[in-house]
Amino acid sequence: MDNQRLFLVIALVFVLFLIWQAWMEEQAAKTLPSQAVVTGEPAPPSSTTEAAPRQDLPSVPAIPGVPAAKLLDTSQRIQVITDMFVAEIDATGGDLRHVGLRAYPQSLEDKNQPFVLLQDSPPEIYIAQSGLIASTGAAPNHYARFAPEQTEYRLQDGQDVLNVKLTWQGEAGVKVVKVYTFRRGSYVIDVKQQVENGSVEEWRGSPYWQLQRTPPASSGGGWGTGVYTYTGGVISTPEKVYEKISFSDMAKENLDRQVLGGWLAMIQHYFVAAWVPAQDQTNAFYSKAVDDSRYVLGMVGPQGVVPAGAVGEFHSRLYAGPKIQSALQQVAPNLQLTVDYGFLTIIAEPLFWLLEKIHSVLGNWGWAIVVLTVLIKLAFYKLSETSYKSMANMRRLAPELTKLKERYGDDKQRMNQAMMEMYRKEKINPLGGCLPIVVQIPVFIALYWVLLESVEMRQAPFILWIQDLSAKDPYFVLPLIMGATMLIQQKLNPPPPDPMQAKVMMALPIVFTFMFLWFPAGLVLYWVVNNVLSIAQQYVITKRVEAGLNKA
């Protein structure tokens, strides 16, 4: 196989890689039931176990569906404004119904509008819920009505902690206070459910925390944006630190698993909401598809006992924010894996680490991509040199190969024998350029995922007209430059003897340019810089080979 065929194979592999992503998105959409705007909400979890000491393992609750005509109940709203969030808590269930991220504008055109991560407005519902399951006594679930202390909270200058309290009062003397604690500079929200047992009998029950959402209209990409990313559930357990629980998985069967520590999350492109329990606590992880339109992923904690006249507390933490690896690592073990690099994580993580270090010096993610591309090119310089030398020698033999084709016509066997004889005589290995290029393919794909998954690229400016490296080039300048560099590279390569193959090779720059018109500018920038460096390196090496032959 000559180098032209090798390049063709590599190009086809990349195209198939992109087609596979689009197919995955299409299949995900097909496996989900049709989404309804008016949907049923899950009934509260119910425990079937007898009262037990606090150390007893929790049971996964059964969550039956309810009539489709039932909307999310809503009542009084509590507004919460901090340096990180614009949030709303509903008095029904004390649910966290709306979370806007102030540091991440919805768009560059409207920088004053925070990106909405959680919301309870159809058709895309995504909320965080919590409640209690009482086996002895009464308890509020996510249908119960709470009374807020006030309807608006604001983190003041000089204030580091903001507590939002809601109270539920039961008829039997049991009172539950739900407290959301927001901290300055943090995307972690502490959630405490405090049981004040004013009855004459002990109270027994378990806490639960869950995320409820509908599938988004788009799973995070496709041909319209040039990207595909996973949107759905994820859990982490000691046995498997990162496991996807997709909406289609939830539709097929309910999750039912005892987990020590760990966490569960609903992730999407750039952002995540995750419940993180105490890591020394065993919880029952569960999932449920509700009315073929809404999906729940949650956990039930161990049963607690609150004696008469005593107070008991249940704690968990909710991370609701961007997928910043350094921040996620501090919240829970392996939570940074929600930045999903796929099967090439082992290569992608060091690449992102290096990219981040470069950015810390330059202060611009675009220039950081340029410098990283140069460093990768330097790391593979010797391998690329071997490849380009092989190409230069093949280019030198191109006229002789054309003569062989004319001489033997359609007699492929005799032509191949003559070609191999020529290679032996000239001491040329036609496969000499294959391995160096094949070795670099995993690095390229890993960097593709780094640039695609890193929230740091979102709305990050580069220069001039490129003000968002995660969006397409608005004037398509970079894709056109990329297409031009591909044409130049073809001129430096030996022309294929097969006319049909030559036509296919000539069409590739046009095909790639068209595809890359909608790719994120950061990815196209990498490709352009890599092509320019490759052209320079190949040109110099080709001239050296030709000069050496002339001297001989």
Residue whose tokens read 């949030």: 87
Token pair of 66 as six digits: 């309810």
Residue 495 confidence (pLDDT): 63
Residuewise pLDDT in 10s, the chain (552 residues) = 344 444 445 555 555 555 444 444 444 444 444 433 333 333 344 433 333 333 344 555 443 344 343 467 788 999 999 999 999 999 999 999 999 999 999 988 888 899 999 999 877 899 999 999 998 888 999 999 999 999 999 999 999 999 999 999 988 889 999 999 999 999 999 999 999 999 989 999 999 999 999 988 754 444 334 456 889 999 999 999 999 999 999 999 999 999 999 999 999 999 999 999 999 999 999 999 987 788 999 999 999 999 999 999 999 999 999 999 999 999 999 999 999 888 888 999 999 999 999 999 999 999 999 999 999 888 887 777 766 666 666 666 667 777 777 777 676 777 777 777 777 776 666 555 565 567 677 887 888 888 888 999 999 999 889 999 988 888 999 999 988 988 887 777 666 656 676 677 777 788 888 888 888 898 889 889 988 988 887 777 777 766 655 554
Q: Distance of alpha carbon 318 from its chain centroid, rounded?
A: 18
Write down the pLDDT at residue 226: 43
pLDDT at 189: 97
Fold of 39-332: Beta-galactosidase; Chain A, domain 5 (2.70.98)
Strand partners, 188: 319
On whether the pTM is more than 0.75, the answer is: yes
Residue 197: alpha-carbon gap to chain centroid: 43
Strands (E), 155-240: 161-169, 174-183, 188-197, 203-213, 232-236
* pLDDT for res 68: 40
DSSP-derived 3-state class of residue 354: helix
Question: What is the pLDDT, as a whole number, of residue 394?
Answer: 67
Per-residue pLDDT at 111:
84
**pLDDT of 518:** 84
Burial (CB count <10 Å: 0-12, 13-18, 19+), residue 451: buried
For the chain, give every domain's residue range.
Answer: 39-332, 349-547
The partner residues of 191 in beta bridges, in order of sequence, read: 180, 316
